[in-house]
Amino acid sequence: MPSSSPTLMTRRRFLGVTAGAAGLLAAPGCALPEPDDTPDPVLDLVLSAERDAREFAVADSAHGDHVVALHRLADVRRIQAGQLEAALTSPRQTPTPAPSADSPEPVRCPPVDEVRTRLRADIATATEVALAESGIRAELAGAVAASCTAAVEVLLT
């Protein structure tokens, strides 16, 4: 007679079921894939390009003769961020919004010396990515490294 009462599992049966499940997981080809928690290195390039695009765009008279170059560089970094984002291996997670402050920090463009230092750090990161990757991701990272080097050597001299 069918019964709706829960079936009691004997100790022997429990051990058999759990051992079977463990064997299934351990069997080659049947194991569940480990989630890859390694951050995509291209994401670092996207985030720094977005930050630069935002901040260089507000360069003002305090930046002297470099205002036009910084505004131009803001456009360059915006284009780079967009193309790099399209090359991410997985869609970017929307960051959790920070608790709202009374007055948000105003966007400011750093002094030109700091801009150069920042770009050199981005060149180093983009170079690492270009040398480690292949295909379009290597090409994009390499182009970003080359463009930022040209910016430091020519645009910001």
Partner 1 sequence: MTTPIGLAAEDAAVYGYGIILAGSDASIIGAVRRELAAHRARRDAAEQLWPDAAPAPVGYLTGADTSTAPVLLAIRIESDCCEAWRAELGFASDSETRRFCLDALTASAIQLARWRTLIPGAPFEALPGFPPPA
Instruction: Please give the size of the binding site for partner 1, defined by CB under 8 A.
Output: 29
Closest distance between partner 1 and the C-beta of residue 90, in Å? 21
Nearest of 104, 121, 28, 112 to residue 67 by alpha carbon? 112
- Beta-carbon contacts of residue 40 (< 8 Å; ≥ 6 apart): 88, 89, 90
Nearest of 152, 132, 124, 129 to residue 141 by alpha carbon? 129
Q: Which H or E run contains 64?
A: none
Residues 58-88 as b or e (16 or more Cβ within 10 Å = b) = ebeeebeebbebbbebbebbbebbeebbebe
83 is a site residue for partner 1 (CB under 8 A): yes
- Binding positions for partner 1, 84-103, rule CB under 8 A: none
45 is a site residue for partner 1 (CB under 8 A): no
| Cα of 47 vs its chain's centroid, Å | 6
Q: At 72, give phi and psi (nearest 5°).
A: -65, -40
155 is a site residue for partner 1 (CB under 8 A): yes
72 is a site residue for partner 1 (CB under 8 A): yes
Rounded distance, CA 42 to CA 157, Å?
28
53 is a site residue for partner 1 (CB under 8 A): no
112 is a site residue for partner 1 (CB under 8 A): no
Q: Which is nearer to partner 1, 109 or 147 (CB)?
A: 147
Closest distance between partner 1 and the C-beta of residue 92, in Å? 20
Of 76, 87, 115, 119, the one binding partner 1 (CB under 8 A) is 76
Cα Rg of the chain (Å, integer): 26
Closest distance between partner 1 and the C-beta of residue 37, in Å? 26
57 is a site residue for partner 1 (CB under 8 A): no
Give the interface with partner 1 as residue ranges (CB under 8 A). Answer: 72-73, 75-77, 79-80, 83, 127, 130-131, 134-136, 138-140, 142-147, 149-151, 153-155
